[in-house]
Structure 1
Amino acid sequence: MRKSANKKAKSTIFIIFGGTGDLTKRKIMPALYNLFLDGWLPEKFAIIGTSSTKMNDVKYKGELLASVNEFSRKGKSKKEEWSEFASNIFHQAADITDASTFKPFGDYIEKFKKEWEEETPSVVYYCAVAPHFFCTIAHNILIAKLDNSPETARIVIEKPFGTDLESAKALNAKLLTLFQENQIYRIDHYLGKEVVQNIMAFRFANSIMEPLWNRNHIEHVQISVTEQIGIGTRGKYFEQAGILRDMIQNHLLQLLCIIAMEPPVNFDADEVRNRKVDILKAMRKIVPSEIDSMSARGQYGSGWIEGKEVIGYREEENVEPHSNTETFAALKLYVDNWRWQGVPFYLRTGKRLFKSASQITIQFKEVPHNIFHCEEGNTPKKNRLVISIQPDMAIQFQLQSKSPGLEMNLNSMNMIFDYSGVAKSETPEAYETLLLDIISGDQTLFMRADQVEEAWELIMPVLNFWENSKTADFPNYPADSWGPENAEALIARDGYHWFNLPEKSK
């Protein structure tokens, strides 16, 4: 049996635009079902999926059941539990470009308001559609006179939030004429990951961390998100985006903000987001003359991954044969404030790399004076804090200790907090965390308009430079490598090297 429903959560109506799409089936609906099973959904809720195709509720529920059985972390659903959950699901055909087809949504809202007469429900408009429809949907919600009250109505949009600074500003300006900022939930699934959230707890709930968390003790920081996969069927999108837009502008910069931010006064959403914006504003501007020394780009060629031959980026479907789009990007960034002055932050991400992994590595400085023998293997190595987001979820401190024996020989040891070993319950998926926050009206993990714009402003010089200057050496790294040589040179110039996961066993 499922747990009791969350009686503290306000009754909620979800209207999902793109209700038959891939995002809904793979992420949104499994997440809502898992929240239901774990007792986090309110006692009274309704889910209205919309698409351009006319479909009865039974057929729609059948399609969603197949998706939940395939993609839910809990596995195949039980008949009674699914039946109870599905009794709250409805399908309504609509043309998202035609406000007149939105009228049935208003009828649904009024119907549930009457049925749930003890309180006014929250209404969540989830835009699980292509970004160019966000403003159209928001505008048609107003034309159709659907619930737009700041107290009850929320609109959710997925990344990308614009394609550059100008388009991001235009998107924010338009949305803010239709909804208030506290109603807009810009969702970035990376911020919902359990380990990402735990970074703030790790930093701000442990008094021993604060004295170490500054330029006096930290030498440099690396943030890497590497992927074995290529672009798959996303060629048309990726040709317009590139990895700099797709990953660094949002995911990696948000991770940097969490690592570098000052302690907030409290855990209020705007207080936390204010501290993140402070970091983005403190980022050293990248000037065109320094782009070559502050960045590296690459594009994957053909190769072999896990015994299978894979094609190069330019041979992928819907990719130009002479494409200049980068599938790998690395940046060296600085935060110009008292805490971080002079500490480099290295960001790296790419496709078709040696291993899929997301990790943050904080490298501490050497001991000020080495009292041990300087023989090879007996010199103290630098301490390192490694935060693994995927594939493993763990936080480990790499320290030095004496090896057993009669001589004073040093050896590295790891103090590890491993989620797989200590978690008493299943770790929720990122979308479960974020959807629950939307239901609760908590915007802490969602990007604010000024955050989005500051992030775009930071990378625009690199973006413009790369788009206006062709590179003659693409493709410049083979599949199953750690990326192009210029990425190694970027960090090697400062005397460092990238921290890669251990190689695969042969």
Structure 2
Amino acid sequence: MLNQTIISEGICQISKACPCSIVIFGASGDLTRKKLIPALFNLYNNGNIPDNFFLVGSARTKISDEDYQKIVSDILIKNELFAASPKINDFAKRCFYHSGDYGDINSYIELKDKMNSLSTQFKTEGNCVFNLAIPATLYTKVVEMLGKSGLLIRGSNEKPFHRIIIEKPFGRDYNSSVELNSFIDTYASDKQVYRIDHYMGKDTVQNIYVFRYGNSIFEPIWNRNCIDHIQITVAEDIGIGNRAGFYDQAGQMRDMLQNHLMHLLTCIAIEPPVTLSEENLRNEKKKLLRSIRPFNVDNISEDFVLGQYDYGKINNEQVKAYRSETDVPPNSYTETFFATKIFIDNWRWQGVPFYLRSGKRLKSKLSKISIVFKKTPTLIFQDLGISDRLSNVISFNIYPDQGVSLQFQAKIPEQKMCIGTLNMDFSYQREFGSELTSDYNYLILDCMMGDQTLFWRKDNVELSWKLLTPVLEKIENLSEAEKRELVHQYLPGSWGPKASEKFIEKDNRKWINK
């Protein structure tokens, strides 16, 4: 175990939210059942949410408050982390339900009456968070109805506060993201809008800032003089499930590159902010995004490899090809894999390539950032049969085991001079001895407390779309023959198309797959 010394005792404990209510639109969806309800209960169970709290789930299905409370209880009882908690019943009694059409103003007026009554009962002082766990196509309609009904008042960010949480995608290209932000701004200021990226709720991702700025040995070597390249991998072994309607119109780049991977890139590459306040941090991210070199849209294959999974097996289980998934067109060229190379044209990172990749039906579920340092300048160990210069790798492991590892070379004991590659590993779960909480825990609590540090700001969303949109438009306008050449088939259970290996190997580098 680590010899832990707490050096910031005053802020180590997660704060307690003020009195507050939360309305979840999309109460019957997977996100609510699998993520939001468990996260809210975990906060309540740990005392981070006060007794002055209630939840209203809203969806089209007609059920009673009592039925919804039973649903919430069942979700928590079936969760092995909470099954034995004596607080499940208390939490469920604070959960209520509203049935209505998302576009019917009368439904929102009824919801407002219900909220006013519950706010008096639970003394939440009119504070409310609206969580939009619904398809992105419904965002504008729900925000409009919230505004017109008086449930959401623009500029009301404290005493009482009205805030909204929206999930990706934040638009599908630059123009639509600008239009979405502009529409929302009619009913809520940007200080009231929390664009959530659940990767930012992970301890390892937040630890990047502490690792870089809290340890004087790393930041001096965090630049083009010492780092050869950086890899960011977010791989999944699952297919698209029942998301064909959304996914075939989006693809892996819209689904993952514009948000998750770009956010991870900014964490690794930004300049040190004056402090980690929300504006300082997000201003540095804006500078970084503006420094990214535009992609070559005249030759997409220079900067990208695209793929689509075929028939095959994963863990000895036969799986369908993407084009055979339910509701996917048989001639679809939507990418389920991408690999790209990004350059950042600033002083720190000039000439250092950032290799990003993400895909479905890959060999295993893996999320990590690897910092590959330059090789030793000479072959000092060539007399020992070592024919290549050696390098070090720092990896931020996001999934499956959150932590940090350092790969280095050392002499193997009881040998004359035999060199081996070793890993110095730090694991959150192993060192701190407890199950890590859901990514959504921190993020929902931050919203309740008015802290936007870990959330996308609208200008940064628009900048990331501005980078990617020319590529997406170019691909969409290709002929079928050109798309066939660009989108490579790959076997499930592999690490993507063979072209992705050649893509990095042409630069005399290799993907890190473990």
The alignment's TM-score, normalised by the length of structure 2, stands at 0.92
1:196-215 equivalent positions in 2, closer than 5 A: 196-215=205-224
Asked whether 1:488 is paired with 2:501, we answer yes
1:282-321 equivalent positions in 2, closer than 5 A: 282-321=291-330
1:314-463 equivalent positions in 2, closer than 5 A: 314-377=323-386, 381-405=390-414, 407-463=416-472
In the alignment, which residue of structure 1 is the partner of 2:174?
A: 165
In the alignment, which residue of structure 1 is the partner of 2:139?
A: 134
Cα contact 2:130–2:164 (8 A) shared by 1: yes
1:60 to 48, 54, 68: 68
Q: Which moved more, 1:192-201 or 1:98-107?
A: 98-107
**CA offsets, 1:418-457, max 9 Å, x none?**
1121124321110111111111111111101011111111
1:261 to 259, 262, 270: 270
Cα contact 2:53–2:122 (8 A) shared by 1: no
Q: Kindly tell me the number of residue pairs found equivalent between the two proteins.
A: 494
Asked whether 1:278 is paired with 2:283, we answer no
How much does 1:475 deviate?
5.4
In the alignment, which residue of structure 2 is the partner of 1:504?
A: none
How much does 1:68 deviate?
2.4
Write the letter of the residue equivalent to 1:324: Y
Q: Classify the secondary structure of the residue corresponding to 2:309.
A: coil
Q: Classify the secondary structure of the residue corresponding to 2:461.
A: helix
How much does 1:32 deviate?
0.4
Cα contact 1:7–1:42 (8 A) shared by 2: no
In the alignment, which residue of structure 2 is the partner of 1:74?
A: 81
1: CA distance, partners of 2:88 / 2:430: 30
1: CA distance, partners of 2:118 / 2:325: 48
Cα contact 2:21–2:129 (8 A) shared by 1: yes
1: CA distance, partners of 2:440 / 2:225: 37
Q: Which moved more, 1:48-57 or 1:207-216?
A: 48-57
Asked whether 1:221 is paired with 2:254, we answer no
In the alignment, which residue of structure 1 is the partner of 2:113?
A: 107
| RMSD (Å), alpha carbons | 1.9
Q: Classify the secondary structure of the residue corresponding to 1:288.
A: coil
Q: Classify the secondary structure of the residue corresponding to 1:231.
A: coil
Unaligned runs of 5+ in 1: 502-506
Question: Percent identical across equivalent pairs?
Answer: 39
Cα contact 1:7–1:43 (8 A) shared by 2: no
Q: Classify the secondary structure of the residue corresponding to 1:455.
A: helix
1:86-105 equivalent positions in 2, closer than 5 A: 86-105=92-111
1: CA distance, partners of 2:253 / 2:117: 46
Q: Classify the secondary structure of the residue corresponding to 1:404.
A: coil
2: CA distance, partners of 1:53 / 1:300: 36
1:27-38 equivalent positions in 2, closer than 5 A: 27-38=35-46
1:123 to 116, 123, 128: 128
How much does 1:405 deviate?
3.1
In the alignment, which residue of structure 2 is the partner of 1:497?
A: 510
Cα contact 2:378–2:389 (8 A) shared by 1: no
Cα contact 2:19–2:53 (8 A) shared by 1: yes
2:34 to 19, 26, 29: 26
How much does 1:75 deviate?
4.2
The alignment's TM-score, normalised by the length of structure 1, stands at 0.94
2: CA distance, partners of 1:292 / 1:46: 52
2: CA distance, partners of 1:137 / 1:500: 42
